[in-house]
Amino acid sequence: MRTSLTRKVALAFGLAALAVLLLMSFFAPENLSTPTALIGGEKGPLEVPPFGTDERGIPLLEYAMQGASIVTLPSLVSGAVVMLLATVAGLVRCAGLTWVDSVIQFGSELVGSLPRLVVVLVVALVLPVDWKTLLPIGITWALLAAPGAMDEAAATAGRLGGERFVEALRAHGFSGVRIYLYHVVWMNLRPVIVRQGAEVTMQVVFLEIALSYLALRRNEPSFTHSAAEFSWATLLYQGYTALLGSPLLHSLFTGLGLVALTAGMAQALRVAARAR
Amino acid sequence: MVRVIAALLLPIAVPAVLTAVLWALPGHPAEIVCPPGICDGSEALAERWNLHKGPWHFFSNWLAQAVQGEFGNSWRAQPGVPVAELLLQSLPQTTQLLVLSMVPLIVGSVAAALGWLPKRLDPLWQAIGLVPAVILALFCAAQVQIEYGAMSHEGWPAMLRLLLGALVLGVADSALSGAITGTRGVFEAELRQRYIQIALLRGETPLSNALPNVLPALIGQFRARALHIMSGTVVVEVVLGISGLGELLFDGTLMQDFGVVLAAAWAFSLLSAALLLLQGLLEVMVALWVRWAPSGVVEPAEVAP
């Protein structure tokens, strides 16, 4: 009873957090407001709700919304890619396609041996200028994260009995669609698939923040978005200057809040999909 | 065997995949390597990088030169400086960072295996693990800058940057929590086995009996974490100002310095291949240890009738 309630609350929180991200992304301004000051224009959250402004008088809400528009769609697509691949690996194990299973395992060993961020940076280097957005980088990350997810999904399907499980259900007269989609995927693989998808979604958001933050430290444009857009990393960078003494502590809290929202969403969805 | 093959293939796979991508993408490879907005003279560039005679020519030449330690000169990140020199300068820093960052993981794993860390603390480690490395590194960098200044890259401040970087890598992105819960999970599953209960009845310790059997799984987990940490070095090195391989790779990517990026990525693939080989070697050693029966086991022939 209590577990069921926990799952429902977690699902509600996860979906609410996702809705907030989608709304911020949907209503994000194309360009930031015109600065009202060159320096010293910062205002706290009480003066300019909900987050205050930066030193140029630009509301932090606009940074938050633009950042959401950069990360939301690519991170969700990346999560979906991992979920799809993990589902395929689980189904392959249940279908008893041993040679496909072996190919997946060897591929997983090879792909899983590469440090992900290194590959992401190499991909960012060779991407044509027009393609330098978070989406291809996020999908690369998802493909690199997929071996782990596929391995876990296949192991879960294996523990279920693999081929014998499917045979047993066929003996009960269930159709293939019902067996694979309902019994295997929905009833048994769901916790693994949702958790892996949610984690990769969160990781891609954090990846964008990290790459943009590193580019900001070098005073260079990031390869995850255009130079006219601002990521959540800008808030954290302003927060970093606050740690060194500038009056922008509210930027730091806004940036950390957005990171916590993303992490909270992923954790909530993971808990909501937990096995009974 | 699979690990050895993967380890041998990895340093070949990295330039091979990059070559395939360069030729698969629309446009001339030389223009992808350095877009026209940044570089002039695509033909000269193509010739310089052996891009003018097709993918096989580029791949085989690059690999043959890389094996001899010849990577050419950096042309944008640190113009004119030999890339091999940059790699040699940065490799020790990254290696130190990697080794130091394993310390919290080893301590956490040992404590979890010995039961020193209560299970109820797991949510705490997991909550800490949710913090991305970039944020922890940001706080550490600010602390170093406040204490010693932005340009403090020698002596104790440099060592402090290294130690804090290792701590960040060892704790952030679920590294420590994964080590604790992963090790505990493996041990708990093994300790439920029947042979452990029999060993207990014989007056033996469960740890000494379970250890040889759980070591292959633990070694696998550690390699995965080492790889994860290796990936994180890019973030930590740039934020904390540690001149390592990760910083070199990031600067190369940002400055569109193809030679530096390919060489740094190859160096990372060599490190990764070394980890794979080490895992394989340790697994063989554990298998041999298990095969040489533990001392004190009485052979059936020696039992008195």
In a domain, B184, yes or no: yes
B169 Cα to chain A: minimum distance (Å): 14
B254 in contact with A, Cβ within 8 Å? yes
The reported pLDDT for the residue numbered A141 is: 94
Q: Which of residues 255-274 of A touch B (CB under 8 A)?
A: 256, 259, 263, 267
For residue B237, the chain A residue with the least C-alpha distance is A214
B183 Cα to chain A: minimum distance (Å): 17
In a domain, B33, yes or no: no
What is the set of domains in chain A, with CATH numbers? 2-29+52-272 (1.10.3720)
What percent of chain B stands above pLDDT 70? 95
For residue A219, is it left (φ>0), alpha (ψ between -120 and 50) or beta? left
Task: Show Cβ contacts of residue A172 under 8 Å, excluding neighbours closer than 6 positions.
Answer: none
The reported pLDDT for the residue numbered A80 is: 97
Asked if A122 lies within 8 A of B265 by C-beta distance, the reply is: yes
Scored b (16 or more CB within 10 A) or e, A187-215 reads ebbbbbbbbbbbbbbbbbbbbbbbbbbbb
The reported pLDDT for the residue numbered A2 is: 67
* CA-angle at A246, arms to A243 and A250, nearest 5°: 75
In this structure, what CATH number is given to the domain that contains residue B154? Answer: 1.10.3720.10
Q: Which residues in chain B are contacts of A126 at CB distance < 8 A?
A: 18, 21-22, 25, 32-33
Q: Which residues in chain A are contacts of B261 at CB distance < 8 A?
A: 121-122, 125
If one compares A219 and A19, the residue with the highest pLDDT of the two is A19
Asked if B253 lies within 8 A of A206 by C-beta distance, the reply is: no
A244 in contact with B, Cβ within 8 Å? yes
Asked if A121 lies within 8 A of B265 by C-beta distance, the reply is: yes
Q: Which residues in chain A are contacts of B256 at CB distance < 8 A?
A: 125
CB B255 within 8 A of CB A115: no
The reported pLDDT for the residue numbered B95 is: 92
CA atoms within 13 A on the CB side of B121: 13
> Which range (B124-138, B241-255, B283-297) has the least confidence?
B283-297
In a domain, B8, yes or no: no
Sign (positive/negative) of CA torsion B46, B52, B55, B60? negative
Give me the mean pLDDT over the B153-178 stretch: 92
If one compares B292 and A119, the residue with the highest pLDDT of the two is A119
Q: Provide, for chain A, the percentages of residues in helix, strand and coil under a 3-state DSSP scheme, each rounded to the nearest 5.
A: 75, 0, 25
The reported pLDDT for the residue numbered A1 is: 59
Task: Show Cβ contacts of residue B182 under 8 Å, excluding neighbours closer than 6 positions.
Answer: B109, B218, B221
The reported pLDDT for the residue numbered B213 is: 87
Confidence of residue A104 (pLDDT cuts 50, 70, 90): confident
B133 in contact with A, Cβ within 8 Å? yes
The SS3 call for residue B6 is helix
A194 Cα to chain B: minimum distance (Å): 17
Confidence of residue B304 (pLDDT cuts 50, 70, 90): low
Give me the mean pLDDT over the A2-15 stretch: 88
The reported pLDDT for the residue numbered B303 is: 53
Tokens 């949510």, residue located? B123
If one compares B131 and B303, the residue with the highest pLDDT of the two is B131
Tokens 């693994």, residue located? A192
Give me the mean pLDDT over the A23-44 stretch: 86
A219 in contact with B, Cβ within 8 Å? no
Q: Which residues in chain B are contacts of A117 at CB distance < 8 A?
A: 231-232, 234-235, 246
Q: What pLDDT, in 10s, does the model give residues B92-108?
A: 999 999 999 999 999 99
Q: Is the pLDDT of residue A76 over 70?
A: yes
B301 Cα to chain A: minimum distance (Å): 39
Calculate the average pLDDT of chain A.
89
Give me the mean pLDDT over the A232-253 stretch: 91
Confidence of residue A34 (pLDDT cuts 50, 70, 90): confident
Asked if B10 lies within 8 A of A124 by C-beta distance, the reply is: no
B88 Cα to chain A: minimum distance (Å): 18
For residues B198 and A186, what is the distance between their CA atoms, to the nearest angstrom? 40
Tokens 């993967």, residue located? B6
B221 in contact with A, Cβ within 8 Å? no
What percent of chain A stands above pLDDT 70? 99
Asked if B234 lies within 8 A of A214 by C-beta distance, the reply is: yes
Q: Is the pLDDT of residue B247 over 90?
A: yes
Q: Is the pLDDT of residue A77 over 60?
A: yes
For residues A275 and A232, what is the distance between their CA atoms, to the nearest angstrom? 34
Residue span of the structural domain in which B113 resides:
84-254
Asked if A236 lies within 8 A of B269 by C-beta distance, the reply is: no
H or E element, residue B221: helix B206-240
Q: Is the pLDDT of residue A94 over 80?
A: yes
Q: What pLDDT, in 10s, does the model give residues B279-301?
A: 889 888 888 888 776 565 555 56
In a domain, B208, yes or no: yes
A119 in contact with B, Cβ within 8 Å? yes
A115 in contact with B, Cβ within 8 Å? yes
Q: Is the pLDDT of residue B3 over 80?
A: no
The reported pLDDT for the residue numbered B297 is: 56
Residues shown for chain B: 305
Show the tokens assigned to B180: 């604790």
How close are the terminal C-alpha atoms of chain A, in Å? 11
Residue B82: DSSP 8-state: B
Q: Give pTM, 2 decimals.
A: 0.89
Asked if B262 lies within 8 A of A109 by C-beta distance, the reply is: no
In a domain, B63, yes or no: no
Identity of the residue in A109, A148, A218 whose CB atom sits nearest the CB atom of B2: A109
Q: What pLDDT, in 10s, does the model give residues B77-95?
A: 888 899 999 999 999 999 9
> Which range (A16-25, A56-65, B42-51, B56-65) has the least confidence?
B42-51
Give me the mean pLDDT over the A154-164 stretch: 82
B11 in contact with A, Cβ within 8 Å? no
The reported pLDDT for the residue numbered A114 is: 80
In a domain, B45, yes or no: no
Specify the number of domains making up chain B.
1
Give me the mean pLDDT over the B61-86 stretch: 88
Asked if A213 lies within 8 A of B239 by C-beta distance, the reply is: yes
B231 in contact with A, Cβ within 8 Å? yes
In a domain, B140, yes or no: yes
